[in-house]
Chains A and B, each alone.
Chain A
């Protein structure tokens, strides 16, 4: 079974620029999550999708972050404009449905904002 694919693997941008991350979950997984992991901390949930609908975006900084999963398969997370404090690893995870015990994570995108 193919894992969760994320790209790019690394990204360096200047502050105030925009950036987008892409995630392709495991085939058939209805639930998709984006997490932000700042160095030295555990991952923090940003947004959860169920198929193409948003289930929980309560921790997403909506003034600069946006995410979509238009066809209920792959997803894009965007930051515009980026701030220095957005430097982190952005992780995507998927599960067959909500409440499932085992999340499968991708390897993440490491963003550095300079």
Chain B
């Protein structure tokens, strides 16, 4: 059963910020929010993860709402190379819980 809900597709203009939403209303206290992306003909690539605080790295920012029921992945200055399928995944890091992928959001960056 999917733990997350994402829009199937989104467009974003090159150079603008891409904001990808994800709903995870049934998230548990010990579950993190992960984001991966999959560029055409490649395997998925880890982007970022967080528990309840906002996170930022060289690739993106992750904003998690205070109630943790939703989050937004932000690509601050989208380029054509950011065109990919983006997966939002909820997962407990302890134990042996694996990554379970949904169908993700297909993000298209428009020149």
List residues of A whose CB falls within 8 A of some B CB.
4, 33, 40-45, 48, 55-56, 91, 93, 98-99, 101-108
Contact of A99 (CB < 8 Å), options: B36, B95, B102, B104: B95
24 A–B contacts, CB within 8 A, in A order = A4-B43, A33-B98, A42-B101, A43-B101, A44-B101, A45-B98, A45-B99, A45-B100, A56-B96, A56-B98, A91-B44, A93-B43, A98-B96, A99-B95, A101-B32, A101-B46, A101-B49, A103-B36, A103-B44, A103-B46, A104-B46, A105-B43, A105-B44, A105-B45
Q: Quick one: given A42-B103, A45-B99, are A99 and B44 in contact (CB under 8 Å)?
A: no
List residues of chain B with CB within 8 A of the CB of A102.
46
List residues of chain B with CB within 8 A of the CB of A33.
98
Chain B window 25-69, contacts with chain A (Cβ cutoff 8 Å), 1 for yes, 0 for no: 000000010101000011111100100000000000000000000
CA distance A101 to B101 in the complex (A): 14
- Residues of B within 8 A of A (CB-CB), count: 23
Q: Does any Cβ of A come within 8 Å of B1's Cβ?
A: no
* New A-B pairs, 8, CB < 8 Å, besides A43-B101, A99-B93, A104-B46: A4-B43, A41-B103, A42-B102, A43-B44, A93-B43, A103-B36, A105-B43, A108-B42
Among B67-111, those with CB < 8 Å from A are: 87, 93-104
